[in-house]
Amino acid sequence: MVRNDEFYLRKWVAYYGEQLGRENLRIYFDGEDQRVPDFCEGVYTELKPRIPGMVVKSEKERLTFLSHQAARLMREEGYDLVIGVDADEFLVVDPVVGKTLQEYLSSTDIKVCVSGLGVDVGQHLDHEGVIDANKPFLDQRSYAYLCSRYTKPSVIAQPVMWGSGFHRVKGHNYHIDKNLYLFHFGSIDLEMIKERMGNADLVSTGRLGHIKKRAKTIYVVSATQARDWDKTVGGMRLAQQWLRQPFAWNKPWNPITKVVVRIAERFKGIV
C-alpha cells in the first residue's frame, strides 16, 4: 500500500514484476486522490479511501487491511504464498543460489512465514553521490547497516495477521532463511530524506521521527568501518534468530549496534 511514492514504486514494479509476473502483483493506493502511474500497466491496482489518523493508528489499520487481502488471495484465488513488503523493500535471493525469487520460495518448505535478513542500505557520504533513479540502486550504493528492524516475516504461507510495518506475524515465531535478504532502500539518498522532512503530508501524520531514522542510517554507514559481507551476515543471522526484542518475543533483536557491511559484488545490478 503506497501514497505519493512513485520513485520507489517504479523500481518495485520492475523488480517484482520480473521475479513473479506483473499479474501477481497487488498495489493499493492510500487515498482516492492518488493517480495510478502508467508504469503499473498489467498490475492489479486499487484506489482505497485514505486511512486517516497519526502514523501508529493508521499503520495498524493498513496492516490489518493488507493481512485480510493476503488471506483472501490464499482462500479465494489459490495462492500458496503471499509476500508483503513496502515500496522501498526488495526481497532478494542470494545470487549464489542461481534461482529467481519465485523458484526459490516455491522450493522452500515454509510452515507459517519466512524472513530475509534485514539489509538497510545507506548512502556513504564520503564516496557516493545523489542517487539516479534510472540506474540499479545496488550499482550506486555499496554499504548497508545490518538492522534487525528490517528482518521482517515478509513471506507467509497461511492466513495470519501482520503487525505494523510487516515487522512481525502475530502469535507466531519467525524463521530467517539463509539465502534471503530484505534490502531496504529508504536511506539511500540524504537529499531525498531532507525533502521528505519538508513534506507537509508526511509531517502532519507524525512520520517525521520515522524519516529522521533514515537519516541516522546514512550517518552510521558513513562513519563506521565496513565489514566483509560473507564473514558477517551468517553471524548476524544467527544472532537475530535467537535474540528477541525484550518486549516482543516474535521480533528479532540485534544488541550489537552499528554493524555495517560492504555489500557483496554479486548483488550488483539486481535492484
pLDDT in tens, 227-269: 999 999 999 999 999 999 888 999 999 877 789 999 999 999 9
Largest CA distance in the chain: 51
Helices (H) and strands (E) in the chain, counts: 8, 12
Give the H/E segment covering residue 234. helix 229-242
Cell 540485534 found at: 254
**What is the predicted pLDDT for the residue at 193?**
87
**What is the predicted pLDDT for the residue at 51?**
83
| Helix, strand or coil, per DSSP, at residue 23 | helix
Average pLDDT of every residue of the chain: 92
Q: Which three cell numbers stand for residue 44?
A: 492489479
Q: What's the rounded mean pLDDT across residues 96-120?
A: 97
**What is the predicted pLDDT for the residue at 205?**
54
Residue spans of the domains in the chain: they are 79-267
**What is the predicted pLDDT for the residue at 213?**
77
pLDDT digits (tens, 9 = 90+) for 25-61: 999 999 999 999 999 999 999 999 998 765 567 889 9
Cα–Cα distance measured from residue 241 to residue 229, given in angstroms and rounded to the nearest whole number: 18
- For the cut 70, the answer to whether the pLDDT of residue 199 exceeds it is no
